Amino acid sequence: MRQIIRGGFGPALITMPYSPQPACKIRTCPNRAEKWGYCKDHYKEIEEHRLTAAERGYDNRWNKARKLFLNEHPICVMCEKEGRPNPATIVDHIQPHKGNYELFWDQTNWQSLCDYHHRAKTMKESFGKNNER
């Protein structure tokens, strides 16, 4: 018996024909680690937590930035062009960011829009998909 068993009893460890993988980082878990030091089940759990946490952080930052921007640019740019200044409620990306981080946070790519104009723009974008790659 030269096997060193860490973190509980793992029959899988002993029967493994090739280099044994470490056990799951959750100490009470008998499974082998598959990803990031966690077994499949625990990895999935951690991945889910990680994602929601990241998303929450992102939302906070965006909410704050958006409020500041609306404070500085309180009028819908499209309404203003039409000569009827209306209060803006939405910060829109002039060029759709499509998940591009830099484009997303680039304030020169932001504009204040009212509900109506934001909806009108989104409609146009989702119908006019020909010119994007």
**Helices marked H in 3-114:** 11-15, 40-72, 77-81, 101-105
Please check whether residue 13 is in contact with residue 20, taking contact to mean a CB–CB distance below 8 angstroms: yes
What SS3 class is residue 118? helix
The only residue of 31, 90, 110, 111 in contact with Zn ion, by rule CB under 5 A = 31
Name the segment binding Zn ion (CB under 5 A); options: 5-13, 14-22, 40-48, 60-68: 40-48
Q: Which residues pair with 113 in a beta bridge?
A: 90
Structure tokens belonging to residue 7: 């973190």
Contact call for residue 118 and Zn ion (CB under 5 A): no
Name the segment binding Zn ion (CB under 5 A); options: 3-11, 17-25, 62-70, 95-103: 17-25
Contact call for residue 79 and Zn ion (CB under 5 A): yes
Can you give the binding site for Zn ion, defined by CB under 5 A? 24, 26, 29, 31, 39, 42, 76, 78-79, 114, 117
